[in-house]
Amino acid sequence: MSGNNKHHSSYGTYIIVWIALIAFTSITVTIAGVNLGRYTLFIALAIAAIKSTLVINIFMHIKFDEPIFKAFLGISGATLFIIFLLTFFDYLYR
Amino acid sequence: MANDIAVKNFYQQSTNKHTGILSWLLTKDHKRIGLMYMMAIMTFFIVGILIGVLMRLELISPGRTIMGAQTYNTLFTLHGVIMIFLFIIPGLPAIFGNFFLPIQIGAADVVFPRLNLLSWYIYMIGAALVLISLFLPGGPIDTGWTFYIPYSVRSTTNVSMALFAAFVLGFSSILTGINFITTVHRLRAPGMGFFKMPLFVWATYATAWIQIIATPVIAITILLVIIERAFGVGIFDPALGGDPILFQHMFWIYSHPAVYIMILPAMGVVSEIIPTFSRRTIFGYKQIAYSSLAIAFIGYLVWAHHMFSSGMSDTARWIFSLLTFIVALPSGVKIFNWVATMYKGSIDPQPPFLWVMNFIFLFSIGGLTGLVLGSLATDIHLTDTYFVVAHFHYVMFGGTGTIFFAALHYWFPKMFGRMYNMKLARIAVVLYFIGFNMLYFPKFIMGYMGMPRRYYDYLPQFTPYQRISTIGSWILVGTIFFIFGYLIHALLKGKKATSNPWGGVTLEWHIPSPPPLENFETIPTVTHEPYDFSQLKEMKNE
Amino acid sequence: MSDHQEAVVHQVHRDDVGARMGMWLFLFTEVLLFGGMFLVYAVYRYQYPDQFHFAAMELNTTLGTLNTIILLTSSLTVALSIAALQRGNKFLSLVFLSATLLFALMFMIIKYFEWTTKISHGIYPGSPELLAKPNGQILFFGLYYIMTGLHGLHVLVGMVVISFMIVFISRDKVTPDNYVKLENSGLYWHLVDLIWIFLFPLFYLIQ
């Protein structure tokens, strides 16, 4: 059964996302020069996460795909996160 | 399908135009691929067993018996590498998963048949690389299958080649996992919702998730060790700021979930065999299905129980100990549900059922001793002793290994269209039980008494236990060869099997033995619950 | 059992959703592969925050930013390529795909210059200059080479895959009615971009 996505994003949508990505890139580079103390890493990762969300949802189309794909992504992401968390229970408390 | 003789089976039909061996090597048929895996995996299993026999022979007396210490080190390393990467991890999924998962969901094949064949080739390449690593200059690897830093970087043996072989084998595992998950989501027959699937399918599905998510972590760990050997980057080298314990974290982040890759399919098989031979529907179907997912998930959270004495933080130690106790719970759910299924059932003690009895006893011992090891205070005394060796052999060999034989005895008539000698099979079950316990139980005692693992030599007070263990190895291995003997005899001369010799009701028992190429004449529409034995009357007319 | 075998050719059953599902599952393995490396990075950055900061100053932020923009743009062009094919415009699709390949090449060239510059300054695993530095810096550069190297390898593989897609589209093996292969290639390429989205701030923007 062929199941090509009925939803096709427009050229314009992709270009807007691209502009947003470039904008966030310039924000993250500019902010790197500002001393944010303890928040530097967090903000850099937050911006990276926003960029990723755009790429995954629009470019990789997961927003418009069957929900199971989002579930799968969630499972994998959650597992990776937990692995980080548990490993740091060692390093944070040495 | 009343007339088995008229319908051609999958040995007589091919997915390609070749004949002879090429029709196998270029097949897209999941059943043939399962059998090709069986040939390869059984061969390596036998090699692994023989290495074990040699090890036990060396240990029959203190001091040198038949080999030197270096040889002994390479033997226990190879025994581990072969048994784990070439036998147990692929074993049940690649053989029985490949053969039966599509049939049990009412499909003609998996979603990616050519990828399936590729998985087999990748497995064979990985196996070849293991063999090659034995003969290159430097000699076979001697680090133990766990290849811990720093020795895996310093050892002058062929660590990189052996590790690269494991890396390649990981891809085989990953591709199988991808195929199975997609197949379960996309090819279930009409009417077969997730909660009508047989529990073996649930188990294989949960296993596939572990294969996909955990295997890449060992892949990167292996790459890092190979890079370290080649370039001395310092990632795990304390002299350059690295942390050897980080290696252990990364190693066990895969290798603990890996043991669930080993046991979940086995538990799936048990969930098939018990209802069939109790002639009763499984007790607590949903709980068993969910427990497979729970084990798969919680299994990711316990890895550092292999590292209690490594030097990691106390906080990490108690957290992982707690999580380890929690992971025992879903397994307990399964065992209770299996026993409840048998209660007031109509028990038919055929060989597959007897094998499952073996499993329940041996796996329970393994599981319970896991609690002893999961508890921090006791683990400090028992870690890296024979107690651990006994524990994992009871769960891996007594658990998955036993079910390997159970699955073989259960599905043999379906796969090969022949019956084997029941009396010999029953004798084998008993001999196996005796040999197994003789081989491994003394190891609990020796471990408790302080005998370290992976030691080539030992103090005289251990000698009587070592001797009993060695004799047990002869009985067990002898029994295994006996089993292969009567099964091969059955292949050649056994009585022809009907489509349903045991009275099972999952979809594989509705089709001829052996199955036709596309499994079903027409894809069935599923209306019954998976273990609904009222179907048996209708099936007699099929 | 007769040994005469018949070949049974059955209709190849097409399942685009299944094909994409398989691809996503493969991508998760890549996420976990790099995830493992990010874990190593995280541990050592936690242990050596200052040394990571000093070591990062040796990296050229301009080139890193340029590479980030190049890769983001290549993600755009591969998405546009699929959009073009969906609208039946084979020529435009090929143009965008070729642009993607070009951007990938530019990325690799810049990477090559970054690496060779470092190596000529004596900063590479095992070099006396590097070993003379504090441990945290040694680890930083070790991680830099391994992670950007592994990423670069994936870029190269992506270039091969995109080249195949260019050939397939040219030869009408991938068409506006049957383009899941192109979608899957795009998914792979976006993953390569995603990894870099995280690598970039973690290596180049620790100021």
pLDDT number for residue C2: 43
Q: Give A 10-69 residues with CB within 8 A of chain C.
A: 10-11, 14-15, 17-18, 21-22, 25, 28-29, 32-33, 40, 44-45, 47-48, 51-52, 55-56, 58-61, 65-66, 68-69
Domains of chain B: total = 1
Distance from C-alpha of B177 to C-alpha of A94, rounded to nearest angstrom: 37
Distance from C-alpha of B14 to C-alpha of C9, rounded to nearest angstrom: 9
Asked if residues B78 and B166 have their Cβ atoms less than 8 Å apart, the reply is no
Residue at token pair 């541990």: C43
Distance from C-alpha of B248 to C-alpha of B241, rounded to nearest angstrom: 16
Q: Tell me: pLDDT of B2 over 80.
A: no
The percentage of residues in chain B with a pLDDT greater than 70, rounded to a whole number, is: 99
Q: Is residue B18 part of a domain?
A: no
Asked if residues C59 and C147 have their Cβ atoms less than 8 Å apart, the reply is no
Vertex A47: Cα angle to A43 and A48 (nearest 5) = 115
Q: Give B 286-305 residues with CB within 8 A of chain A.
A: 297, 300-301, 303-304
3-state secondary structure of A5: coil
Q: Is residue B20 part of a domain?
A: no
The minimal CB distance from A93 to the residues B300, B304, B315 is found for B315
User: How many CB atoms are closer than 10 A to CB A32?
Assistant: 20
3-state secondary structure of B418: strand
Distance from C-alpha of C12 to C-alpha of B126, rounded to nearest angstrom: 30
**Is the interface score ipTM higher than 0.90?**
yes
* Chosen from A76, A90, A92, A93 to mutate, greatest number of chain B CBs within 10 A: A90
Give the Å distances, CA to CA, from B91 to A69, B263, B300, B459, C44.
29, 11, 21, 37, 38
Q: Tell me: pLDDT of A7 over 90.
A: no
Q: What is the mean pLDDT of chain B?
A: 95
Residues A90, B245: C-beta atoms closer than 8 Å: yes
Contacting chains of A (3 CB pairs or more, <8 Å) are B, C
Q: Is residue B11 part of a domain?
A: no
pLDDT number for residue B45: 98
For chain A, the domains span: 1-60, 66-94
Residues C43, A66: C-beta atoms closer than 8 Å: no
**Contacts of the segment A12-15: beta carbons below 8 A, 24+ positions apart:** A13/A58, A14/A58, A14/A59, A14/C76, A14/C79, A14/C80, A14/C83, A15/C76
**Gap from B458 CA to chain C (nearest CA, Å):** 39
Beta pairing partners, C175: C178
Q: Tell me: pLDDT of B39 over 50.
A: yes
- Residue of B211, B222, B121, B221 whose CA lies nearest to B163: B222
Q: Is residue B22 part of a domain?
A: no
pLDDT number for residue A1: 39
Give all domains of chain C, ordered by start, each with its CATH number.
18-204 (1.20.120.80)
Residue at token pair 């992971």: B327
Region B491-495 average pLDDT: 96
pLDDT per residue as tens digits for the range B62-117: 999 999 999 999 999 999 999 999 999 999 999 999 999 999 999 999 999 999 99
pLDDT per residue as tens digits for the range C8-20: 555 567 899 999 9
- Rounded to two decimals, the pTM is 0.95
Instruction: Give helix B422-448 / helix B351-374 axis angle, nearest 10°.
Output: 10
pLDDT per residue as tens digits for the range B400-441: 999 999 999 999 999 999 999 999 999 999 999 999 999 999
Q: Is residue B4 part of a domain?
A: no
B249 touches chain A (CB under 8 A): yes
Q: Is residue B21 part of a domain?
A: no
CA nearest B311 in A: which residue?
A: A94
pLDDT number for residue C1: 41
pLDDT number for residue C10: 56
The minimal CB distance from C139 to the residues B223, B241, B253 is found for B241
Q: C8: left (phi > 0), else alpha (psi -120 to 50), else beta?
A: beta
Region B321-327 average pLDDT: 95
Backbone angles phi, psi at B242, to 5 degrees: -80, 170
Distance from C-alpha of B495 to C-alpha of B418, rounded to nearest angstrom: 5
Residues B213, C32: C-beta atoms closer than 8 Å: yes
pLDDT number for residue C22: 97
Q: Is the dihedral of CA B177, B180, B182, B184 positive or negative?
A: negative
Residues C201, A14: C-beta atoms closer than 8 Å: no
A93 touches chain C (CB under 8 A): no
Residues A75, B209: C-beta atoms closer than 8 Å: yes
Residues C46, A65: C-beta atoms closer than 8 Å: no
Distance from C-alpha of C40 to C-alpha of B527, rounded to nearest angstrom: 51
pLDDT per residue as tens digits for the range C27-78: 999 999 999 999 999 999 999 999 999 999 999 999 999 999 999 999 999 9
Size of interface A-B (CB pairs under 8 A): 40
Residues A2, C15: C-beta atoms closer than 8 Å: yes
Which residues fall within 8 angstroms of residue C167, CB to CB, at 6 or more apart? none
pLDDT number for residue A47: 96
CA nearest B221 in C: which residue?
A: C36
pLDDT number for residue B3: 46
Q: Is residue B17 part of a domain?
A: no
Beta pairing partners, C7: B14
pLDDT per residue as tens digits for the range A32-50: 888 877 788 899 999 999 9
**Gap from A46 CA to chain B (nearest CA, Å):** 24
pLDDT per residue as tens digits for the range A44-76: 999 999 999 999 999 999 999 999 999 999 999
pLDDT number for residue A2: 43
pLDDT per residue as tens digits for the range C73-114: 999 999 999 999 999 999 999 999 999 999 999 999 999 999
Q: Give C 140-199 residues with CB within 8 A of chain A.
A: 177-180, 183, 186-187, 190, 193-194, 197-198
Residue C3 pLDDT class (50, 70, 90 cuts): very low
Q: Which residues from B are below 8 Å from C4, CB to CB?
A: 12
Q: Which residues from C are below 8 Å from A81, CB to CB?
A: none
Distance from C-alpha of A32 to C-alpha of B400, rounded to nearest angstrom: 53
Residue B1 pLDDT class (50, 70, 90 cuts): very low
Q: Tell me: pLDDT of A5 over 60.
A: no
Domain residues for the domain of B473 are 27-539
Q: Is residue B1 part of a domain?
A: no
pLDDT number for residue B542: 63
The percentage of residues in chain B with a pLDDT greater than 90, rounded to a whole number, is: 94
